[in-house]
């Protein structure tokens, strides 16, 4: 089956009900199926819905941004970071291009956490499907959606 582009409105909350993110009123998020643009636990539900459908989707951490893993926490020498002030909360790109956050600073070392900020969290999405269409040839070649109407240039 050829890839689809699904555009959807969403509100993302954590288990305590706090809103973490949401789409703008007239600007649904569009993604191409099978491209890894959105988390797998959400995509597998969205592909079963039709235009206009509303659904609450609860995604366990493992199907969202992964479990919070100690393997993703590393301590490096201070000298391995760029010159200048480094403070807790700063973000860098790690060895594989992944974002890492400074979580502790000692005299000679810095601790970096490569877990996604939402790792280890169950996520709750309230979604409404705005549009479903076939992916264009350009989108298939690029491996991502070009907005809800397929004409977004970038
Ligand atoms: Zn593109």
What would the pLDDT profile of 42-57 be if each residue is shown by its tens digit? Answer: 999 999 999 999 999 9
What pLDDT is recorded for position 16?
Answer: 96
Assessment of whether the complete model's pTM goes beyond 0.75: yes
CA angle at 114 for the pair 86 and 20, rounded to the nearest 5°? 95
Print burial letters for 91-115: b (CB count within 10 Å at least 16), e (below 16): eeebeeeeebbbeeeeeeebbbbbb
Domain covering 4-65+119-142, topology: Chitinase A; domain 3 (3.10.50)
What CATH class is the domain 70-113? Answer: mainly beta
Domain boundaries, given as residue ranges, for the chain: 4-65+119-142, 70-113
The rounded Å distance from CA 149 to ligand 1 centre is 13
Are the C-beta atoms of 49 and 56 separated by less than 8 Å?
no
Ligand 1 center–CA 152 separation, angstroms: 8
143 CA from centroid of ligand 1 (Å) = 7
Q: 96 CA distance to ligand 1 centroid (A)?
A: 23
**35 — pLDDT class (breaks 50, 70, 90):** very high
How does pLDDT run across 82-92, given as a tens digit for each residue?
Answer: 777 889 999 88
Q: How far is ligand 1, taken at its centre, from the CA of residue 36, in Å?
A: 14
The residue among 62, 68, 30 whose CA lies nearest residue 46 is: 30
Q: How many Å apart are CA 12 and CA 50, to the nearest integer?
A: 20
């Amino acid at each position: 089956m050829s890839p689809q582009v699904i555009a959807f409105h969403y509100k993302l909350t954590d288990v305590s009900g706090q809103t973490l993110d949401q789409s703008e009123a007239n600007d649904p998020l569009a993604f191409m199926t099978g491209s890894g643009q959105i988390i797998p636990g959400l995509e597998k539900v969205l592909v079963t819905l039709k235009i206009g459908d509303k659904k609450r989707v609860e995604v366990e951490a493992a199907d969202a941004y992964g479990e919070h893993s100690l393997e993703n926490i590393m301590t490096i020498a201070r000298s391995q970071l760029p010159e200048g002030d480094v403070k807790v909360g700063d973000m860098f790109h790690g060895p594989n291009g992944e974002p890492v956050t400074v979580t502790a600073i000692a005299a000679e070392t810095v601790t970096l956490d490569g877990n996604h900020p939402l790792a280890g969290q169950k996520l709750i999405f309230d979604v409404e499907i705005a549009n479903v269409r076939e992916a264009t040839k350009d989108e298939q070649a690029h491996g991502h959606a070009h907005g809800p109407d397929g004409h977004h240039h970038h």
